[in-house]
């Protein structure tokens, strides 16, 4: 029997999407092979009962819960001792994180502390001879590497690599509370956290994404996309040309070397639709593309396409959405507005 321990992140009293996807994968695997015990570590100042309920619906055997007012903001110095205690006590073989900023920060710290192997940016997992075999893209996504560690390993998993499944097998989940540790001296203290405009919502969790490509032509022009995103309650993403042009930070990159996203609605402005970009957005629900080139590849993925100048289309779209919003007095919601 192999143990899997997953760091669970939660927001607005829900387990975040990428963690739900990871749990879905293991729950399904477990129901077929019965080789895994799924354990979860969760932390926060407060943890709502909904979060625990969600974990048990997703097949978690045991939850290790660190609830403390020092855990209101992520600080690895405070969180690591809680988590490493659980890892040690349970003797976990696979310690899994989502590829979020927190996962990417905490996983290598703990791997170093335990002198263990670390495998990052996993996009697929298979089970071979009772061991997990991880797949990850290397050399900018040109080839895939397969890794099958036999010892304890720390792993980060890319968002939207697995399907989220509804109820698989509800567990009678045991909740264990992990107690706080006195830390003598912190290297740094985080007092508050703010979100940058461009990541109003985490891209990998977003239901609506407005994406700008090289056709946006400047950082200043990206402001129009933020205005549209505000109206739609959307996140702003970008293609490589826009990131390389310095119009937006690399964290907004969608594609093979960027983020894999799965929104219900994806609007692309001045994006050519290269194979590498499509690798990150082809599982989007509805795709709307605006491009002046009728031959642009993005139209192969689009449900609705507009051949035209985005600098004419965008202001018109914003004007119409504002009108719609004034009449309806609310933000456009893709779940209830017919998407």
Residue 278: CB minimum distance to ligand FAD, A: 9
Residue 242: CB minimum distance to ligand FAD, A: 6
Smaller CB distance to ligand FAD: residue 168 or 310? Answer: 310
Residue 261: CB minimum distance to ligand FAD, A: 11
Smaller CB distance to ligand FAD: residue 74 or 311? Answer: 311
Residue 154: CB minimum distance to ligand FAD, A: 25
Distance CA 154, CA 160 (A): 19
Residue 270: CB minimum distance to ligand FAD, A: 4
Binding site for ligand FAD (CB under 6 A): 140-142, 213-215, 239-242, 253, 255-258, 270-272, 274, 276-277, 280, 290-293, 296, 309-311
CB-based burial label for 117 (10 Å; 0-12, 13-18, 19+): middle
Distance CA 125, CA 161 (A): 9
Smaller CB distance to ligand FAD: residue 149 or 270? Answer: 270
Please provide the size of the chain in residues.
339
Smaller CB distance to ligand FAD: residue 132 or 209? Answer: 209
For ligand FAD, which residue has the nearest CB? Answer: 255
Residue 168: CB minimum distance to ligand FAD, A: 31
DSSP letters of 203-237? GGG-SEEEEE-GGG-SHHHHHHHHHHHHHHT-EEE
Smaller CB distance to ligand FAD: residue 42 or 289? Answer: 289
Distance CA 85, CA 106 (A): 14
Provide the token pair at 129: 């001879």
Smaller CB distance to ligand FAD: residue 180 or 276? Answer: 276
User: What is the CA angle 276-258-201, rounded to 5?
Assistant: 130
Q: Give CB contacts under 8 A, 24+ apart, made by 312-315.
A: 313/269, 314/224, 314/225, 314/228, 314/269, 314/290, 315/224
Smaller CB distance to ligand FAD: residue 232 or 310? Answer: 310
Residue 229: CB minimum distance to ligand FAD, A: 17
Which residues are CB-contacts of 338 (< 8 A; sequence separation ≥ 6)? Answer: none
């Amino acid at each position: 029997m192999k143990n899997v321990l997953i760091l669970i992140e939660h927001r607005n009293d829900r387990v975040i999407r990428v963690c739900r996807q990871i749990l879905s994968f293991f729950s399904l695997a477990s129901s077929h092979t019965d080789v895994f015990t799924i354990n979860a570590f969760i932390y926060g100042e407060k943890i709502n009962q909904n979060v625990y309920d969600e974990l048990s619906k997703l097949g978690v055997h045991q939850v290790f819960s660190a609830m403390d007012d020092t855990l209101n903001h992520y600080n690895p110095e405070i969180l690591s001792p809680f988590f490493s205690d659980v890892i040690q006590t349970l003797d976990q073989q696979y310690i899994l994180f989502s590829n979020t900023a927190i996962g990417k920060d905490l996983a290598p710290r703990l791997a170093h502390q335990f002198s263990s192997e670390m495998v990052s940016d996993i996009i697929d997992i298979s089970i071979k001879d009772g061991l997990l075999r991880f797949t990850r893209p290397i050399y900018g996504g040109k080839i895939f590497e397969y890794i099958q560690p036999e010892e304890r390993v720390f792993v980060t998993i890319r968002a939207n690599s697995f399907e989220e499944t509804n109820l698989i097998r509800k567990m009678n989940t045991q909740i264990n509370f992990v107690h706080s540790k006195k830390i003598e001296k912190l290297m740094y203290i985080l007092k508050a956290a703010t979100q940058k405009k461009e990541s109003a919502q985490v891209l990998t969790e977003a239901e609506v994404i407005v994406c700008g490509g090289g056709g946006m032509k400047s950082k200043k022009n990206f402001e129009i996309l933020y205005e549209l995103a505000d109206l739609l309650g959307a996140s702003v993403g970008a293609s490589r040309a826009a990131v390389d042009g310095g119009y937006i930070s690399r964290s907004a990159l969608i594609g093979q070397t960027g983020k894999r996203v799965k929104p219900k609605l994806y609007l692309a402005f001045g994006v050519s639709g290269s194979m590498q970009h499509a690798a990150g957005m082809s599982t989007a629900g509805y795709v709307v593309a605006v491009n002046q080139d009728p031959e642009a590849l993005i139209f192969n993925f689009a449900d609705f396409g507009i051949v035209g100048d985005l600098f004419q289309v965008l202001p018109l779209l914003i004007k119409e959405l504002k009108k719609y919003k004034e009449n309806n007095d609310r933000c456009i919601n893709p779940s209830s507005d017919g998407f």
